[in-house]
Structure 1
Amino acid sequence: MSFADSYLGRLRALIGDRLVLMPGARIVIERDDGRILLQQRTDFGLWGLPGGSAEEGEGLETAVLRETAEETGLIVRDVEPFGFGCDPQYETFVFPNGDQVQFFALMFYTRSFEGEAAVTDDESGAVGWFAVDALPEMLPNMARSIEAYQRFKKTGKFQMI
């Protein structure tokens, strides 16, 4: 789906670049060797987790499954929530085109996927598997999400960040 056809794209056509509060989801996809999948975003040039905004009539689990397939080509299964990102200090962005968004993101993880990760849309410049102790330059909210996932793995406690 193109951005113009998405819910947010249609909303932007009506309201311009004003701040939008947007529900969404992101996912940590972890391989057996502990590496996680990241995508290099074309808008900021930084790395982040696959994910995105929900469409009309779509739940957040469905949104993260769809966004992952669209952005990486992977089919993920057995997704589980581990946290929620909602701190305006980290979840509010002004995009290069001037659009303003404050995200509210349910964070999922999985170790169950099929396919080979690849760039499959214009939102990703690259995809790659990274060790948690050797991450590339990331968007701050995405780095915090990975830190929250590490805490969740140690404690089993749902993370509010």
Structure 2
Amino acid sequence: MAGFADSHLGRLRAVVGSRMLLVPGARLVIEDPATGRILLQERSDFALWGLPGGSAEEGEGLEQVAIREALEETGLAVADLEPFGFGCDPAYETITFPNGDRCQFFVMMFRTRSFTEVPVLDSQGESLRLDWFAPDDLPAMLPNMARSVEAYRRFLATGAFQMI
């Protein structure tokens, strides 16, 4: 696996520094079909919980991003992804990272109940922990990630695609 410096975003950062970047990406709700709990990662950058996901690499579609990021961040091979929403509200999707880098994300949100293996921490150090949580009893999360889970819950209740 390549590190951040080798990623598309890492190469852009080498040129533009911490300036605001508009970044397409994907976020994934992985639900345990037996319990209804969802998998979260405690992120090393903010020490808060979030959903698996990340930024697109050159030549990737957003479904491919979700599949790759799930494998990299959780060790799970996911399948049968279904889009349930799109996150683009700059009030929530504009993030300043601890190192000063700024991004405004445009994120397709997917869900799946189909995965193999068991969760394993990534080797890149992006995650401090992985754990399963009830969607109505979540730990402290990044605000945009918490909104994504809220959107997922609304999607389950209504069947309507969520624009947040």
Decide: shared fold, TM above 0.5: yes
Determine the structure 2 residue equivalent to 1:70.
72
Q: Structure 1: where are the runs of 5+ without partners? A: none
Q: 1:27 is matched by which residue type in structure 2?
A: L
Q: CA deviation at 1:27?
A: 0.4
Please give the alpha-carbon distance, in whole angstroms, between the structure 2 residues aligned to 1:127 and 1:31.
14
Q: 1:144 is matched by which residue type in structure 2?
A: R
Determine the structure 2 residue equivalent to 1:45.
47
Aligned pair partner of 1:114 in 111, 116, 119: 116
Please give the alpha-carbon distance, in whole angstroms, between the structure 2 residues aligned to 1:140 and 1:15.
26
Q: CA deviation at 1:49?
A: 0.2
Determine the structure 1 residue equivalent to 2:156.
153
Aligned-partner SS, 2:4: coil
Determine the structure 1 residue equivalent to 2:130.
127
Please give the alpha-carbon distance, in whole angstroms, between the structure 1 residues aligned to 2:29 and 2:13.
28
Determine the structure 2 residue equivalent to 1:27.
28
Determine the structure 2 residue equivalent to 1:101.
103
* TM-score, scaled to structure 2: 0.97
Q: 1:8 is matched by which residue type in structure 2?
A: L
Please give the alpha-carbon distance, in whole angstroms, between the structure 2 residues aligned to 1:154 and 1:59.
28
Determine the structure 1 residue equivalent to 2:143.
140
Q: Structure 2: where are the runs of 5+ without partners? A: none
Q: CA deviation at 1:120?
A: 1.5
Deviations 1:57-101 (A, max 9, x none): 100000110000000000000000000000000000110000000
Please give the alpha-carbon distance, in whole angstroms, between the structure 2 residues aligned to 1:144 and 1:93.
14
Aligned-partner SS, 1:101: strand
Please give the alpha-carbon distance, in whole angstroms, between the structure 1 residues aligned to 2:20 and 2:32.
36
What percent identity do the matched residue pairs reach?
66
